[in-house]
Amino acid sequence: MTDAFHLPDLVSADWLQQHLHHPGLKLLDASWYLPGSDRDPVAEWRAARLPGARYFDFDQRLAAPGPLPHMLPEPAQFAAEVARLGISNDDAVVVYDGSGIFSSPRAWWMFKAMGHNGVAVLDGGLPAWRAAGGELESGPVSAPQPGRYLAHRVEAWYADQRQVVASLTQPGHRVVDARSPARFLGQAPEPRPGVRRGRMPGALNLPYDRVLEGGHLRNQAELRECFAALGPAQTEWVFSCGSGVTACVLALAATLAQQSKVRVYDGSWAEWGANPKLPLVVG
């Protein structure tokens, strides 16, 4: 089904309105908010969602068990949960969130990392859909017909702690942190207990909101400028953040800017900052 759409990595609300009722298209609300935001993404999804959209819960159901938040699950767990949402391997998937572009790239990256290339992010998310006059539905949701899904991890999209350590000093590699400058420099506290302030030695800072404008991704030329300021086009990028969510915003932006080698450090600062054996720099 994905070939019929020529599905890019980013689609507009206008594009989605034109293809909304195609039988091979599946919509997922991947909204997630930082702890303490006082927003309930599931309640918001039930109250107002794109037609037929299911809730993609990467914080609980689609997360690996363990102490770190919403880590990428094993392929079998991912496949079972995605099939439960009514998705099969040949479906085209569009993900969106309630902020514009914040958490939906995390779902996009997870699909990519599990071998599903037919996935796109809705540029501007739910706010852009509302602004375009797109139809919404609310109320109870019936269980979909389960899909048939197989997943496999694509290591080229993924970086673990060992790979990050190597990338910090390896020529041609850049580790880029998507956190705010205050958190990157250790001037602001981390939201998770037990996580140290600071940054990885050798890491660069590109706050995720620098690649956005008004809840949308910046245009390709502007995105290329963002990454050109950090390294040449042949750079092998590793993106990190607080817990692996906004790092995926940078991964999407880099992909749109035609950077060829893009990885996400899944554990991000939640893992690095909690391990006293790993080096950090403050200031």
CA 212 from centre of chain: 14
Work out the burial of residue 61: count CB atoms within 10 Å of its CB; fewer than 13 is exposed, 13-18 middle, 19 or more buried: middle
Residue 121: φ, ψ to 5°: -100, 135
Helix %, strand %, coil % of the chain (to 5): 30, 15, 55
DSSP for 70-83 reads: TPPPPHHHHHHHHH
Report which DSSP code applies to 281.
B
CB atoms within 10 A of CB 83: 18
Beta bridge partners of 94: 27, 120
Out of 16, 72, 206, 241, the active site residue is: 241
Q: Which of 22, 42, 18 is nearest to 32 (CA)?
A: 42
* 3-state secondary structure (DSSP) of residue 106: helix
In the annotation, is 248 catalytic? no
Residues 6+ apart with CB under 8 A from 236: 167, 172, 173, 174, 261, 263
* Residues designated catalytic: 241
